[in-house]
Amino acid sequence: MPRMWKRRLCASCAVFLAGLLWAACTGDAYVDVEQEPTCDSTEECQPEKTGTECIDGRCQCAIAEEESCCEPGAVEEEGDRCERACRPASECTAAACETSRDCPGPVDPRCGHALCVAGVCRLALREQLEYQLPGDCRVVKCDDVGAIRVEHSGSDVFDDGNECTIDRCIDGASSHVPQPTGPSPETSGYCKDGKWVGCLRDEDCGNPSYACSGSGRCVHEWCENGILDVSSGETALDCGGPCDPCASGQPCDSDDDCVEQICADDGTCAHARCGDGVLNGSETDVDCGAPSCPACDPGKRCSSHGSCQSGVCSDGRCREASCSDGVMNGDETGLDCGGPCVSCPLYIDGPDT
């Protein structure tokens, strides 16, 4: 018997070496060894327990992307169908559970919550968070493990309310490009340098006794004659009264005579100040919203998110801070979390998370 076993072993070795030699001669990098069948029929796969079928001589799941996470020995001991029969491969490592409390939740609780389904932990995730800041050219989504990721979105454009600008997202940020000089696209009037004006040329005024001023207003022709016409109401050369408002430092009789709506006690137009009680300069509402002034309270007019204390400008008005506005504001300790909102993940510490 030992000698016969050795002869068979040598014969097998010979076949194996011959295969290697043939592969080397043909240039193949490896020898394709066909796997031996493990089943002849589906019954042998214990389908009622493992969920598999006998396909091409092997116990496999009917869907190629799935596999049976069940161990045959454990199945036999349990005596019934394995709860993880033919599932996505990722579920083979999922934790077992009795209730959802046994399961780890998503990385970020704002993305959803844990579930216990048929004894296996799963995640119920939101594809896109409700916490979105409108007009920031971004969309906040959740990935497969419930972590937040931010993507650029060219459709999430901030509307600055100016018909003479084209609102776009450029390099992930809102941009407002001036409309071409010409008729306004929405109302009567014209666009020039990104601002609405009443005229571009004298002909646009429709009256030969009127002229188009430098600021784009139709004014009496003597407002553009280069002469100080005090009798006609001008307070300075071609400005004040019925003409264009005067620049700072020019003589004035009232606030309406001045570009920045401030006629000082000395009778000259003054520069705008944040505390002058007048909507002027680059302010979006009275004494707020300008780069050098405080941000505006909720309800005040705005032209950007930065104009508002809450960081949220919608439909031209500042909004109250909320737990779903996509901004870290109010009493929050993180982005739409902490304080009066849902608890923050441990890693969240600011609005750029």
pTM of the model: 0.57
What is the reported pLDDT for 72?
52
Q: Flag whether 146 is in a domain.
A: no
| Single-letter residue type at 54 | C
Beta-strand ranges (E) seen in 155-285 are 165-170, 173-178, 182-183, 190-192, 195-197, 210-212, 218-220
Q: Flag whether 101 is in a domain.
A: no
- Which positions ≥6 away from 343 have C-beta within 8 Å? 109, 337
Q: Would you say 300 and 279 are in contact if contact means Cβ atoms under 8 Å apart?
A: no
What is the reported pLDDT for 151?
87
Q: Would you say 266 and 278 are in contact if contact means Cβ atoms under 8 Å apart?
A: no
Region at 146 (left for phi over 0; alpha for psi -120 to 50; beta for the rest): left
Q: Which domain holds residue 61?
A: 39-93
Tokens of 68: 């049976």
Q: Flag whether 51 is in a domain.
A: yes
Q: Flag whether 121 is in a domain.
A: no
Q: Flag whether 69 is in a domain.
A: yes
Q: Would you say 242 and 232 are in contact if contact means Cβ atoms under 8 Å apart?
A: yes
In whole angstroms, what is the distance from residue 194 CA to residue 180 CA? 8
What is the reported pLDDT for 6?
36
What is the reported pLDDT for 84?
65
In whole angstroms, what is the distance from residue 344 CA to residue 28 CA? 57
Q: Flag whether 328 is in a domain.
A: no
- CB under 8 Å, gap of 24 or more: what pairs does 78-82 form? 78/49, 80/49, 81/48, 81/49, 81/51, 82/49, 82/50, 82/51
In whole angstroms, what is the distance from residue 65 CA to residue 80 CA? 24
How many domains does one find in the chain? 1
Tell me how long the chain is.
Answer: 353
Which residue ranges of the chain lie beneath pLDDT 50? 1-34, 73-79, 347-353
How wide is the angle at C-alpha 136 spanned by C-alphas 132 and 138, nearest 5°? Answer: 65
- Picking from 227, 172, 174, 217, the residue whose alpha carbon sits closest to that of residue 195 is 217
- Which positions ≥6 away from 4 have C-beta within 8 Å? none
Beta-strand ranges (E) seen in the chain are 53-55, 58-60, 66-67, 87-88, 112-117, 120-125, 138-142, 148-152, 165-170, 173-178, 182-183, 190-192, 195-197, 210-212, 218-220, 313-314, 317-318
Q: Flag whether 224 is in a domain.
A: no
What is the reported pLDDT for 15?
37
Q: Flag whether 82 is in a domain.
A: yes
